[in-house]
Amino acid sequence: MAEGTSLKLLFLEDDPEAVTLFRERLIQEKNPPFEVQCVQTLQGGLDLLEKGGFDAILTDLNLVDSKGFETFQKLHDRFPGIPIVVLTGSYEDESIGIRAVQLGAQDYLVKGEIEGKILPRVIRYAVERHRFREELELRVAERTTQLEDLNKELERFTYSVSHDLRTPLRSMTGFSEALLEDYGSRLDAQGKDYLQRLSAESQRMDKLINDLLNLSRLNRGEIRRERVNLSAAAREIVGRLKEMQPDRRVSLFISDGITAHGDPTLLRLVLENLLGNAWKFTGKRPGAKIVFGATRQEGKTIYFVRDDGAGFDPAYSGKLFTAFQRLHNEAEFPGTGIGLATVQRIIRRHGGLIWAEGKVGKGATFYFTLEAMDSNSKGG
């Protein structure tokens, strides 16, 4: 508030002595000076407020035509943009003042305990807090709009680039396969190997583009929340993994009765990525072990996927959920580097957290929640 600018206050009070006492204290204040207009009834106050021009409201909760919390509620409901300081008659009424603050009042004062410059100071600070909050909300709204626009532009760019890349890429794949099929007999072993590599890399690039598109789409659409049987989904996923590599010997432990409240399609994608990674990174360990379970901590469910595979260096754990960041060699453990970034985005859209623990050669455990929890509560 600029120095010297007057502060226009509406004072609702039906006790003449209180009106005189508080008004005198307020008009003596010079920084800023107060313009005080007093009314004895709630209706009179509402009528004046309709005309506009007031910076703050100071009101007794017990007036001729309104009693208790109802006084504040009617003022706040009609004029939420004006800061309100409420007066209570005694400490016995203090709970009403506290409730008013919880529901939107800037402050409250007990009449018999107001001394010196406390009254003008409380009103001035109430106005400043209210204006600061409005400015902050405006900045947040502007920033949110900017981020939404940037995200939309990024999504359009991602889709455009991916589409433009995919068309020639599929042509490359098709022609290389046709060349191998129609003219393979004329090529030596090295020539066939080159074409097979070209086809494989083209297919890998196509999958990378598809994963990138799916990642960008995760910010769009509504989350469809329903009860999801994660244990059943996990069993289906590992069943398909075993069908793809029937010769592998892996001990699989999936706890019964694990459920969650969330989007069934997205949560299945989370499990496909986490269990798929566990399957992949235990590929070089005979008799590997993979576990899917859940535990309770501070009243919240923490889900986890644990394996005893390749693990990772904890010093680089910050890169795990970043798109295209890989902690293992592509030749050793193939992949696009998109999976964990996708998982993290899904978990965040559900209001949860995901983190990991691991050691090189000792396996890894990925934990996630589907509801917000304090970061100090992480563990398993």
Structural domain contains residue 125: no
Structural domain contains residue 281: yes
Question: Can you give the pLDDT at residue 294?
Answer: 94
Structural domain contains residue 110: yes
Residue pLDDT, tens place only, 310-329? 778 777 677 777 665 555 55
Structural domain contains residue 256: yes
Q: What is the CATH number of the domain that holds 104?
A: 3.40.50.2300
Phi/psi for 88 (5° steps) reads -115, 150
User: Is 104 in the same domain as 240?
Assistant: no
Q: What is the CATH number of the domain that holds 290?
A: 3.30.565.10
Structural domain contains residue 134: no
Q: How many domains does the chain have?
A: 2
Domain of 345 in residue numbering reads as: 225-377
Query: For 22-31, b where at least 16 C-beta lie within 10 A, e where not — what string?
Result: bbebbeebee
CA distances in angstroms from 366 to 3, 229, 321, listed in the order given: 57, 19, 11
Whether 110 and 92 have beta carbons less than 8 Å apart is answered as no
Structural domain contains residue 91: yes
**ω before 16 within 30° of 0 (cis)?**
no
Of all residues in the chain, what percent are helix, strand and coil, respectively (each to 5)? Answer: 50, 20, 30
Q: Which amino acid is at 120?
A: P
Q: Which amino acid is at 372?
A: A
User: Is 233 in the same domain as 109?
Assistant: no
324 vs 338: CA distance, rounded Å: 6
Strand partners, 294: 303
Closest alpha carbon to 272 in 305, 315, 245: 305
Average pLDDT along the chain, 380 residues, taken 10 residues at a time = 72 87 81 84 92 89 85 89 83 71 83 74 84 86 84 72 72 81 83 81 73 65 84 92 86 92 88 89 85 89 90 75 58 61 87 88 89 47
Whether 234 and 242 have beta carbons less than 8 Å apart is answered as no
Sheet of 354-359: strand order equals 250-254, 288-297, 300-307, 363-368, 354-359
Of 114, 147, 163, the residue that ends a domain is: 114
Whether 88 and 97 have beta carbons less than 8 Å apart is answered as yes
Sign (positive/negative) of CA torsion 143, 146, 152, 154? negative
Question: Can you give the pLDDT at residue 380?
Answer: 43
279 vs 136: CA distance, rounded Å: 48
* Helices 339-349 + 189-217 axis angle, to 10: 10
Of 114, 131, 154, the residue that ends a domain is: 114
Structural domain contains residue 143: no
Q: Angle at Cα 372 formed by Cα 366 and Cα 375, nearest 5°?
A: 65
Of 97, 114, 131, the residue that ends a domain is: 114
User: Is 373 in the same domain as 233?
Assistant: yes
Question: Can you give the pLDDT at residue 368?
Answer: 94
CA distances in angstroms from 255 to 188, 189, 291, 301, listed in the order given: 53, 49, 8, 14
